[in-house]
């Protein structure tokens, strides 16, 4: 992990980290994914089964997990785990219920009315990654806002292991969340099935949930025919700290991000030179006997960074430029630093709020913008599963009062028939 004490070098390094998924392999991946999607579009379940055998090593037949198996998974997990899932479910649901957008109507003085009406999409697909870890928390974070929005049908896809099995706690979380259908498929072929529909899987209106580069590329390519939440890249954390923060806490929080993925990024901006060295020493100690040592080492070595900043203002500037997915503020006055933060997916204040709190049960969604996208977007939420419609009703008087302005604007754009469509109503 590099230690940098020069702002110019820090900006350059942060840019390199932010662009870490932009590689020469992207064109090759696009070609592979396009081929998979086209085959799924043409051949449906046959193609999905073919690519599941090829990439995941099992025959997904039957593809759907029945409701009894979901219920059994819930019954088989420990009481303690059930309780924890229920606590998380309640907190996440309570938060997202506050997000429900309100329809509204405005009545004009001449009797015209304009409205915005919010409605849920009919059905949604949620992608739950497998691979290096199991993510029951991601089930809750995707299913709950969809349920709160009023989505009728939630279809979950998740890759099985070599035996074709999905993690039991993931299935238990699906049962708790009231998901209608669960299919043991993953990868680009699963995204294609949700986007185009097959004999077994209904075409959905929105697809949400993170995945690997093939899943993300598939979401990018089908966007337009189906809605998506975002194009999630590898996870990242940026911590702003001063001499009051404990180095062991900082090192633990950096490793909590690094253990996700070799491409995960863990960054520290500190005003203390001594702390920078202490954190680096702590990281080496903690990695030594870490159960995911290899993943952590690759992440920290390639995408980890410590920057020694002159002052808080420099920390804030660098953080806003990077626009992190997760931002922890571990300073004497974290609220003061917060005032200067413009770009971050989620912000965690003070030593009692490690990022893991947000990952599991704080309430706000943990599906967040990565790779600098928090400059213009936010977390997954209830609105992801809703659409709004404008409703406009003018009467004769309100159209007549506004007709000249509409005609003037239409003529300024050279659109003759737009103007005529108003004029003609008053010619008789």
Q: Which domains does the chain have, with CATH numbers?
A: 2-21+234-362 (3.40.50.1980), 26-228 (3.40.50.1980), 394-426 (no CATH)
pLDDT at residue 132, rounded to an integer: 63
pTM here? 0.94
Note whether 320 and 238 are within 8 A (CB): no
Distance, CA of 131 to CA of 275 (rounded, Å): 35
Residue with tokens 């809605």: 227
Q: Is residue 325 among the annotated active site residues? A: yes
Distance, CA of 214 to CA of 115 (rounded, Å): 40
Report the DSSP pairing between strands 236-241 and 326-330: parallel
pLDDT at residue 24, rounded to an integer: 58
Distance, CA of 220 to CA of 108 (rounded, Å): 41
Distance, CA of 337 to CA of 278 (rounded, Å): 23
Q: Is 187 left (phi over 0), alpha (psi -120 to 50) or beta?
A: left
Local confidence pLDDT in tens for the 428 residues of the chain: 999 999 999 999 999 999 988 765 678 999 999 999 999 999 999 999 999 999 999 999 999 999 999 999 999 999 999 999 999 999 999 999 999 999 999 999 999 999 999 999 999 999 999 866 789 999 999 999 999 999 999 999 999 998 999 999 999 999 999 998 999 999 999 999 999 999 999 999 999 999 999 999 999 999 999 999 999 889 999 999 999 999 999 999 999 999 999 999 999 999 999 999 999 999 999 999 999 999 999 999 999 999 999 999 999 999 999 999 999 999 999 999 999 999 999 999 999 999 999 999 999 999 999 999 999 999 999 999 999 999 999 999 999 999 999 999 999 999 999 999 999 999 97
* Helix, strand or coil, per DSSP, at residue 173: helix
Q: 206 Cβ partners below 8 Å, 6+ apart?
A: 121, 124, 125, 226, 227, 228, 229, 384, 385
Distance, CA of 140 to CA of 144 (rounded, Å): 6
Q: Which of 89, 326, 328, 355 is catalytic?
A: 326
Q: Is residue 416 among the annotated active site residues? A: no
pLDDT at residue 134, rounded to an integer: 84
Note whether 5 and 312 are within 8 A (CB): no
Residue 183's CB is within 10 A of a number of other CB atoms, namely 26
Report the DSSP pairing between strands 386-393 and 113-120: antiparallel
Note whether 178 and 127 are within 8 A (CB): no
- From first CA to last CA, the distance across the chain in angstroms is 79
Q: Which of 13, 49, 282, 325 is catalytic?
A: 325
* Helix, strand or coil, per DSSP, at residue 139: helix
pLDDT at residue 218, rounded to an integer: 97
Reduced 3-state DSSP string for 341-406: CCCCCEEEECCCCCHHHHHHCCCCCCCCCCCCHHHCCCCCCHHHHEEEEEEEECCHHHHHHHHHHH
């Amino acid at each position: 992990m590099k230690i940098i004490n020069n702002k110019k070098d820090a900006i350059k390094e942060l840019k390199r980290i932010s662009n870490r998924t932009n590689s020469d392999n992207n064109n090759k991946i696009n070609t592979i994914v396009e081929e998979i999607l086209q085959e799924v579009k043409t051949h449906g379940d046959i193609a999905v089964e073919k690519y599941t055998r090829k990439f995941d090593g099992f025959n997904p037949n039957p593809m759907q997990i029945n409701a009894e198996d979901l219920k059994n998974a819930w019954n088989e997990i420990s009481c303690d785990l059930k309780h924890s899932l229920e606590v998380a479910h309640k907190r996440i649901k309570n938060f997202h219920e506050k997000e429900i957008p309100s329809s509204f109507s405005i009545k004009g003085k001449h009797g015209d009315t304009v409205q915005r009406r919010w409605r849920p999409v009919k059905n949604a697909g949620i992608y739950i990654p497998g691979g290096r870890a199991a993510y029951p928390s991601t089930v809750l974070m995707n299913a709950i806002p969809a349920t709160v929005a009023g989505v009728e049908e939630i279809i979950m896809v998740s890759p099985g292991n070599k035996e074709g099995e999905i993690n039991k706690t993931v299935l238990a979380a699906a049962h708790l969340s009231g998901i209608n259908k669960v299919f043991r498929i993953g990868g680009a072929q699963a995204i294609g099935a949700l986007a185009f529909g097959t004999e077994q899987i209904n075409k959905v209106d929105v697809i949400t949930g993170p995945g690997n580069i093939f899943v993300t590329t598939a979401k990018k390519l089908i966007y337009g025919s189906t809605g998506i939440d975002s194009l999630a890249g590898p996870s990242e954390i940026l911590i702003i700290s001063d001499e009051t923060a404990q180095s062991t806490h900082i090192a633990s929080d950096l490793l909590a991000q690094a253990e996700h993925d070799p491409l995960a990024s863990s960054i520290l901006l500190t005003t203390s030179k001594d702390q920078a060295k202490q954190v680096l020493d702590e990281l080496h100690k903690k990695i030594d006997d870490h159960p995911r040592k290899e993943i952590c080492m690759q992440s920290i070595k390639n995408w980890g960074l410590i920057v020694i900043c002159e002052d808080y203002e420099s920390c804030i500037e660098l953080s806003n430029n990077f626009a992190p997915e997760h931002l922890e503020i571990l300073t004497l006055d974290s609220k003061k630093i917060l005032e200067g933060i413009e770009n971050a997916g989620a912000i965690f204040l003070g030593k009692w709020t490690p990022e893991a709190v947000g990952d599991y049960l704080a309430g706000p969604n943990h599906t967040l913008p990565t790779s600098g996208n928090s400059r213009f977007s936010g977390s997954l939420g209830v609105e992801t599963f809703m659409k709004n419609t404008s409703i406009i009703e003018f009467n004769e008087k309100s159209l007549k009062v506004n007709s000249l302005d509409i005609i003037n604007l239409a003529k300024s754009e050279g659109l003759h028939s737009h103007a005529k469509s108003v004029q003609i109503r008053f010619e008789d």
